[in-house]
Structure 1
Amino acid sequence: MTEPVDLPGRLRALWEAPDSAPALQVDGAWVPWGTLRALADEITRSLDGLGLGRGARVGVLLGNWTESIAAILAILGTERCLTVFNPLQPAERLAGDLEQAAPPVLVVPVRAWASSGLAEPVERLGISLIRTSAEGIASLRAGRDDATITAVDAPGVAVELTTSGTTGPPKRIPLTYRQLEASVGSARGHMKPGGGDRSYFEGGVAIVSVPLVHIGGMWGALQALGDARRIVLLERWTLDRWLDVIREHRPRLGALPPAALRTLMSANVPVEDLASLRALTCGTAPVSPDLVDAVLERYGIHVLGVYGATEFSGAVAGWSLPDHQQWWAKKRGSVGRAFPGVGLRVVAEDGEVQPTGASGLLEIRTDQAGARVGADGWTRTSDLARIDEDGFLYIEGRADDVIIRGGFKITPITVKEVLEKHPAVAEAAVFGLPDERLGQIPVAVVEAAPGAGPLSEQELREWCRPRMLPYEVPARALTVPELPRGVSQKVSMPDLVALFAAPPQTTPPQT
Structure 2
Amino acid sequence: MTSRSRFNELLSEAPADAEAIEFDERWRTWGDLQRIDAALDEWLTGHGLGAGTRVGIVLENRPEHVGVLLSLIARDRCIVTLSALQPPRRLSEDIRRADLPVLVGSPAALAGAGVLDAAGDAPVLELTEAGIREIEAGSGAQRPTNSSPGVIVEMLTSGTTGPPKRVLLSEKQFDTAISTSVPAPPEDRLFRRGVTLVVTPLVHIGGFWGALGPIYAGRRICLMGKFVLDPWLRAIERHRPRATGLVPAALRTILTEGVPAQSLEGIDVVTTGTTACPPELIDSFLDTYGIRVLPTYGATEFAGAVAYWTKPLHERWWATKAGSAGKPIPGVTLRITDDEGVDIGREKQGLLEIRTAQSPVGADAWLRTSDLATIDEDGFLWIQGRADDAIVRGGFKVHPDAVRKVLESHPAVEEAAVAPLPDERLGQVPVAAVELVSGESADDRSALVDELVALCRQQLLPYEVPVHISVLSALPRTPSSKVSRVDLLELVSADLGRTAPV
Indicate the TM-score class for this superposition, using the shorter chain for normalisation: over 0.9
How far apart in 2 are the matches of 1:294 and 1:412? 32
Q: How far 1:141 sits from its partner (Å)?
A: 5.5
Deviation of residue 418 (structure 1)? 0.7
Residue 459 (structure 1) shift? 3.1
Deviation at 1:176, TM superposition (A): 1.4
Q: Matches of 1:502 and 1:327 in 2, distance apart?
A: 40
Structure 1 position 404 matched with structure 2 position 398: no
Matches within 5 A, 1:140-159: 144=139, 150-159=144-153
Partner of residue 436, structure 1: 424
**1:169 positional shift:** 2.9
Map 1:84-483 onto structure 2 (within 5 A).
84-115=81-112, 117-122=114-119, 125-139=120-134, 144=139, 150-188=144-182, 196=186, 199-371=189-361, 377-454=365-442, 455-456=445-446, 457-483=449-475
Give the secondary-structure state (helix, strand or coil) at the position aligned to 1:326: helix
Matching of residue 78 in structure 1 with residue 70 in structure 2: no
Give the match's secondary structure for 2:371.
Answer: strand
Q: Distance in 2 between matches of 1:340 and 1:386?
A: 19
Counterpart residue identity of residue 324, structure 2: S
Q: Is the 8 A contact 2:122 2:141 kept in 1?
A: no
Distance change in 2, residues 1:209/1:195 (3 Å) = closer
Higher RCO, 1 or 2 (CA under 8 Å, sep at least 6)? Answer: 1
2:55 alignment partner AA: V
Alignment size in residue pairs: 496
Other-structure match for 1:6: 2
1:34 CA drift (Å): 0.6
> Following the alignment from structure 1 to structure 2, what is the Cα–Cα distance between the partners of residues 13 and 48?
19
Question: CA-to-partner distance for each residue in 1:367-386, whole Å, 9 max, x for gaps?
Answer: 11114x69x61000111111
Segment of structure 1 superposing worse, 47-56 or 178-187: 178-187
Q: Any idea what SS the aligned residue of 1:182 has?
A: helix
- Asked if 1 retains the 8 angstrom alpha-carbon contact of 2:123 and 2:141, the reply is no
Instruction: Check the 8 A contact 1:169/1:411 in 2, yes or no.
Output: no
Shift of 1:489: 1.6
Q: Which moved more, 1:87-96 or 1:283-292?
A: 87-96
For 2:148, the aligned partner's letter is A
**Residues 84/195 of structure 1: CA separation in 2 closer, same or farther (3 Å cut):** closer
Instruction: Read off the aligned partner of 1:449 and give its amino acid letter.
Output: V
CA contact (8 A) 1:10 1:227 kept: no
| TM-score (structure 2 length as normaliser) | 0.94
Q: Deviations over 1:131-152 (max 9, x none)?
A: 12112123355885766x5432
Counterpart amino acid of residue 130 in structure 1: L
Match of 2:480 in 1: 488
C-alpha separation between the residues in 2 aligned to 1:213 and 1:346? 30
Q: 1:325 to 1:257 in 2, by over 3 A?
A: same
> Given the superposition, is the C-alpha separation of residues 141 and 50 from structure 1 closer, same or farther in structure 2, using an over 3 Å criterion?
farther
Out of 482-491 and 18-27, give the one that drifted further.
482-491
| Separation (CA, whole Å) in 1 of partners of 2:137 and 2:151 | 24
Structure 1 pair 102–256 and aligned structure 2 pair: CA distance change class (3 A)? same
Kindly state the Cα deviation for residue 286 of structure 1 after the two structures are TM-superposed.
0.3
The one-letter code matched in structure 2 to 1:113 is: L
Preserved contact between residue 111 and residue 133 of structure 1 (Cα < 8 Å): no
Kindly state the Cα deviation for residue 166 of structure 1 after the two structures are TM-superposed: 2.1
> Is contact 1:132–1:138 with CA below 8 Å preserved after alignment?
yes
Tell me the TM-score normalised to structure 1 length: 0.92
Aligned to 2:13: 16
In 2, Cα distance between equivalents of 1:218 and 1:39: 18
2:7 maps to amino acid: L
Deviation of the 1:503 alpha carbon: 7.5
- Match for residue 66 of structure 1? 63
Which one is further off, 444-453 or 22-31? 444-453
Unaligned runs of 5+ in 2: none
Distance 1:171 1:399 in 2: 18
Which string of whole-angstrom CA distances, capped at 9 and with x for unpartnered residues, describes residues 22-59 of structure 1? 10101000011111111111111111011111111001
Aligned counterpart in structure 1 of residue 489 of structure 2, from 481, 488, 497: 497
How far apart are 1:66 and its partner, in Å? Answer: 1.7
Match of 2:492, SS state, is: coil
Deviation at 1:508, TM superposition (A): 8.6
Change (3 A) 1:146 1:20: closer
Cα distance change, pair 301–480 in 1 and its aligned pair in 2 (3 A): same
Q: Shift of the alpha carbon at 1:424?
A: 1.0
Distance of 1:76 and 1:369 partners within structure 2? 20
